[in-house]
């Protein structure tokens, strides 16, 4: 490393910024997040900086700049916007023994400013030693989405109680206490906005000499993995993966999604392949329940959204009958991902005012649905896992009076690298799917035109 990462104590120390324009204002915004005393060196200040001086949040030195202004400082920023003047001020600041950052001149920097994720008092600093600031900003964005906005205030609450913990909780129980604090009921209460409840839970546990005895039962989260791309997971889904002791996942879950889980979580493949009985639903229910009853945090990871053709009812009922806590974490469903792939919304004002989600894959013994009854004028009919029945669907819809020119979009493996898109008319659908070699996972999206009703009447008349 060319730069050593560390955090400097800033409370009551001087930070000097040489410059009065936008570059200086950018650095001032950073400094004002700390408890440092800020001094601005410039003949004139732009409006934002002048307002800071007027409010008493910064001191302004408009006169000549000498080494005296840079003496006894924690940090100096030079940001005049003029390369020549910046270099001259750098030399003066160095003579005064200051640690200096010259904006946009890495060769003149003793220190660089990282990208910061601020959850005060939790602070994450990201640096690339000046080589890739765009990458640092990208990482900052990723971390901003991962760290709950309430994390800082909860960490501050825990910090205020540290002395009480040291007095009342025996040393051999403190690790379990803090683990419970940040992973269990107190944190869950705080992040949903119940700060008082979180504080009461912590204070009661301290008074009792430690964290409550954990239940013998674990918990189950039915988590939607979305259509494939891991950056389409919800923040809650990522959080559950990082908390899980064991993850049961389907064959349609992208391996990249599993990389978001904590490293020591056990991963169990329970993918059901058509034509086999290796993992029937009752066996999946059994192994998921057994893990939860052993006290583990269980994630049942399903592609798409668990509530949409995800067999969630059976797993929910099994958990509830056993008294095991269970939740659903929704995911992006294939219909939404397919619409995004087409750059076309699911609904369209004046054209498509309803969406029907149905399936082409039914239980053995179930009758064939009448898809034509669902294809109402001005609606979008989305069939999941139906390409293997494309000929049957096509005949049913045409016989039910849908016009041959009805628009059809077929999207396979939406959001994956091998995504396929086919657009055709209804009367060409089955042949076109066969010709292009499209297979499941895929959705058929049939846009039923407004004139479908009159077309049906003409057929019957």
Catalytic sites, residue numbers: 250, 272
- How does DSSP assign 137-181, residue by residue? HHHHHHHHHHS-TTHHHHHHHHHHTHHHHHHHS-HHHHHHHHHHH
User: Which phi and psi angles does 127 have, rounded to 5°?
Assistant: -130, 150
- How does DSSP assign 331-378, residue by residue? ---HHHHHHHHHT--S-BTTTB-EEEEEES---TTPPPP-HHHH--TT
Closest CA to 238 of 310, 328, 306, 329: 329
Task: Return contacts of 107-112, CB within 8 angstroms, 24+ apart.
Answer: 108/78, 111/3, 111/75, 112/3
Count Cβ atoms below 10 Å from residue 232 Cβ, excluding itself.
20
User: Which phi and psi angles does 260 have, rounded to 5°?
Assistant: -80, -15
Element (H, E) at 273: none
Distances (CA, A) of 351 to 336, 342, 355, 379: 18, 17, 11, 8
């Amino acid at each position: 490393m060319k730069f050593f990462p560390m955090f400097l104590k800033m409370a009551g120390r001087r930070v000097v910024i040489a410059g009065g324009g936008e570059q200086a204002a950018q650095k001032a915004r950073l400094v004002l997040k700390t408890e440092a005393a800020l001094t601005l060196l410039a003949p004139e200040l732009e409006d934002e900086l002048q307002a800071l001086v007027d409010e008493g949040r910064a001191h302004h030195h408009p006169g000549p700049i000498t080494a005296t202004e840079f003496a006894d400082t924690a940090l100096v920023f030079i940001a005049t916007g003029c390369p020549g003047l910046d270099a001259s001020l750098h030399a003066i600041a160095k003579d005064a023994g200051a640690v200096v950052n010259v904006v946009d001149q890495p060769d003149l920097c003793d220190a660089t400013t990282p990208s910061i994720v601020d959850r005060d008092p939790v602070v994450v600093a990201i640096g690339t030693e000046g080589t890739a600031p765009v990458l640092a900003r990208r990482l900052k964005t990723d971390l901003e989405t991962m760290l709950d906005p309430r994390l800082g205030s909860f960490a501050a609450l825990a910090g205020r109680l540290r002395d009480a913990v040291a007095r009342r909780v025996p040393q051999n129980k403190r690790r379990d206490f803090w683990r419970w604090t940040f992973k269990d009921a107190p944190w869950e209460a705080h992040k949903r906005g119940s700060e008082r409840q979180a504080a009461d839970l912590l204070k009661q546990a301290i008074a009792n000499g430690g964290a409550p005895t954990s239940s013998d039962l674990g918990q189950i989260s039915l988590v939607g993995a979305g259509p494939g791309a891991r950056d389409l997971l919800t923040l809650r889904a990522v959080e559950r993966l990082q908390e899980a002791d064991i993850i049961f996942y389907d064959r349609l879950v992208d391996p990249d999604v599993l990389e978001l889980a904590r490293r020591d979580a056990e991963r169990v493949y329970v993918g059901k392949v058509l034509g086999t009985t290796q993992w029937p639903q009752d066996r999946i229910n059994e192994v998921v329940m057994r893990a939860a009853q052993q006290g583990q945090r269980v994630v049942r990871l399903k592609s798409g959204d668990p509530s949409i053709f995800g067999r969630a009812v059976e797993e929910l009922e099994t958990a509830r009958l056993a008294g095991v806590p269970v939740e659903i974490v929704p995911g992006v469903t294939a219909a939404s991902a397919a619409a995004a792939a087409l750059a076309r919304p699911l609904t369209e004002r004046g054209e498509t005012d309803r969406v029907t989600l149905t399936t082409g894959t039914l239980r053995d013994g179930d009758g064939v649905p009448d898809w034509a009854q669902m294809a109402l004028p001005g609606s979008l009919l989305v069939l999941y896992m139906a390409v293997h029945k494309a000929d049957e669907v096509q005949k049913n819809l045409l016989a039910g009076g849908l016009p041959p020119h009805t628009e059809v979009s077929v999207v396979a493996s939406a959001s994956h690298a091998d995504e396929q898109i086919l657009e055709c008319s209804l009367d060409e659908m089955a042949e076109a799917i066969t010709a292009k070699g499209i297979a499941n996972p895929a959705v058929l999206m049939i846009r039923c035109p407004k004139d479908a009703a009159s077309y049906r009447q003409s057929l019957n008349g």
